A = this chain, B = another copy of it.
Amino acid sequence: MVTNLTEEIPPSIWSGWGDPARARPLSAGALEFLRRTLKLASVEATHAPVDLADVRVRPAALDEAVLAELRAITGPEHVSTFDSDRVLHAGGKSTPDLMRRRSGDALDAPDAVVFPGSSEEVGEVLAVCVRRKLAVVTFGGGTSVVGGVEPLRGRFSGLITIDMRRMNRLLHVDPLSRTATFEAGIRGPAIEAALAPRGFTLGHFPQSHQEATLGGYLATRSAGQASTGYGRSDDLVKSVHLQTPAGPFDAGSPAPGTAAGPKLLDVVVGSEGTLGVITQATVKVSPAPEAKVYGAWSFPTFAAGADAMRQLRQHGRRGDMPHVCRLSDTDETASTFKLGGWKTGILSRYLTTRGQKKSALALFVWEGDGRQCRAGKRRSARILRRAGGIPVGPLPGKSWEHGRFSGPYMRDELLTRGVYVETLETAAVWGSVEGTYTSVRRAILDALESNGAAAYVQTHISHVYSDGASLYFTFLAGLEEDGLAQNSRVKEAASKAIISAGATITHHHAVGLDHAPYMAAEIGDLGLKVLASFKTTLDPEGIMNPGKLIPSPLEPQP
């Protein structure tokens, strides 16, 4: 059975997300709710992207000799200098990325896109780039929302993007040890489609699942919607094979546990393409769940719901923790009710009669053996009820799961309708969750409303740990004339609030370009020097993804 976990869709279009034919347009009611909430005169579709033919791209800078070298490695059909390919690799999928491209600006596009077919070919391409002094960006699904795949050439005259899509095979499964080895360019649905017949799942489902690649997961330390149960990508990975300018590098041990010095795998995981190209990875896999059991509970406040999540994690039985745990604040719950049609209207009225005029909705999915899931849910229900939760049945969870990958499509429509929307995220220890939530939310609202406009912020927890939780903010306002400035303003205010709260600058979106200025606050100046020291060892010329992760002054300067 093909599900939204295994169905492969085409790579995203140049101006937005995925395959637009799969987008479900916003209902009239939803649009009216937005118009009213954001105090907009209109939400008509007046801001469509320019025509692809009108997109501005710089002239490709590579001379024929370089192209000939690249073509000799991959075959001529796997090196493209077509503008259509260059625009498709002109950046990721952050809202400012989309605003730029939709307005016709793809000036930074790479000079060529190379589609290697093997790890060895990647190594040879890097050797050419070292010799020819060309910057290199590795491109998986291209789903970065922090500028991670922006083709910034820095001090280099040319830039090659390596698109990993051809390297998409399952290489090996070890059913006894429950591990699988893949080429790194395999996308989320293909991972699941390859594992399903063998009875396994990776269990890694970020919202970008349908486009993102395994290599991208590991390069960014991604977390997925079921990571509370299956673990983050950095928990799942056992080893990676990396091609670097200094040669091939295997990081990670085949052993299940080792004390053989620092864990170099954790230097490569999260390195965001700045050290080399992840070409293969071995990951832990889990038995595909026989059953999924859904539940949802309503809490009077976000704080009450968050504390219930904590109790569930800390006081529940080992093993009863749901794989998916999400708690929306009252704003996100309200917008879900508004946008969800008559069923959620009934739910909202029911909660009002139970004394919850405002509701913070928590939803859960238990995965695995059916009996075990049901028992886990039954025992969890006792904790959640004692914590003030009102059970509201399985539908919210099922409905969330059905639409779990559709958010990015909605953003494309909102931008076309002149609505600015972006997300950002952090994580904090339990004692700081409420304070971080309040101050970051306030900073976002203040930044968006600073010119008298109306804005909406909604927040959820999606990853629950023994020591704290993630916080994910989605915020909307009318699109200002200078949308890029609007975006910078709110992003800067929110980032400063996150740093002040002592939370992390990113829980799962990674650093890329956008968070690099906050890395000194995150890891200290000496930490930055340590980061730079690996970079100098593996990428002495500094060709790999310049400007990302490590603030530029620390990058290698030959």
Q: Is the CB of A510 within 8 A of B427?
A: no
Task: Mark the stretch among A11-19, A393-401, A442-450, A498-506 that contacts chain B.
Answer: A498-506
Is the CB–CB distance between B260 and A427 below 8 Å?
Answer: no
Interface centre among A249, A318, A369 (most CB of B within 10 A): A318
- With a cutoff of 8 Å between Cβ atoms, the chain B residues found around residue A504 in the complex are 253-255, 257-260
Residues of A201-246 whose CB lies within 8 A of B: 220-223, 232, 234, 238, 244, 246
Contacts of A509 in B (CB 8 A): 259
A385 at the interface (CB under 8 A from B): no
Cβ 8 A contact of A260, one of B232, B368, B511: B511
Are B223 and A257 in contact, CB atoms less than 8 angstroms apart? yes
Let me know if B264 and A271 touch, CB within 8 A: no
**Complex: A545 Cα to B536 Cα, angstroms:** 24
Question: Is B266 touching A270 in the complex (CB atoms < 8 A)?
Answer: no
Other-chain residue from B426, B427, B549 in contact with A261 (beta carbon distance below 8 A): B549
Within 8 A of B (CB), among A58-96: none
B257 contacts A427, C-beta separation under 8 Å: yes
Tell me the smallest distance from the CB of A179 to a CB of chain B, in Å. 6
Interface string of A488-522 (1 = CB under 8 A from B): 00000000000000111111111100010001001
Residues of B within 8 A of A257 (CB): 223, 232, 427, 463, 465, 468, 470, 504, 507-508
Decide if B549 touches A538 in the complex (CB within 8 Å): no
Q: Which residues of B contact A468 (CB under 8 A)?
A: 177, 255-257
Complex contacts, A427 vs chain B, CB 8 Å: 255-258
Is B259's CB under 8 angstroms from A429's CB? no
Question: Counting CB contacts under 8 A, is A404 at the interface?
Answer: no
**Any B CB within 8 A of the CB of A530:** yes
Known A-B contacts A262-B531, A467-B179, A523-B261; the reply to A429 vs B256 at CB < 8 A is yes
Total residues of chain A contacting the partner, CB 8 A: 89
- Which residues of chain B have C-beta atoms less than 8 A from A259's C-beta? 220-223, 270, 504, 506-511
- Tell me whether A263 and B266 are in contact in the complex, defined as CB-CB below 8 angstroms, given that A317-B319, A426-B255, A538-B530 are known contacts: yes
CB neighbours (8 Å) of A369 from chain B are: 317
Given contacts A526-B244, A526-B249, contact A467 B263 (CB under 8 A): no
The reply on A329 being an interface residue by CB < 8 A is no
A266-B262, A318-B368, A536-B533 known; A256+B467 contact, CB < 8 A = yes
A367 to chain B, nearest CB (A): 10
A372 to B379, CA, bound (A): 12
Give the distance to chain B from A243, nearest Cβ to Cβ, in Å.
11
* In the bound complex, CA of A179 to CA of B234 (Å): 21
User: Is A417's CB within 8 Å of the partner chain B?
Assistant: no
A444-473 contact mask (Cβ, 8 Å, vs B): 1 or 0: 000000000000000000010111111000
Please report the C-alpha to C-alpha distance between residue A56 and residue B530 in the assembled complex, in whole angstroms: 41
- Of the listed residues A179, A222, A238, the one surrounded by the most CB atoms of chain B closer than 10 A to its CB is A179
Scoring A222, A511, A532 by chain B CB atoms within 10 A of each residue's CB, the highest score goes to A511
Distance in angstroms from A106 CB to nearest chain B CB is: 27
Q: A257-B463, A319-B319 are in contact. List 9 more A-B contacts (CB 8 A).
A: A238-B467, A255-B503, A256-B469, A257-B427, A258-B504, A260-B505, A260-B515, A261-B511, A529-B537
Sampled A-B contacts (16; CB under 8 Å): A174-B429, A177-B429, A232-B257, A244-B526, A257-B465, A257-B470, A257-B504, A258-B427, A258-B506, A259-B507, A259-B510, A260-B515, A263-B266, A317-B369, A319-B319, A533-B534
Interface pairs A-B: 3 shortest CB-CB: A319-B319, A318-B319, A256-B468
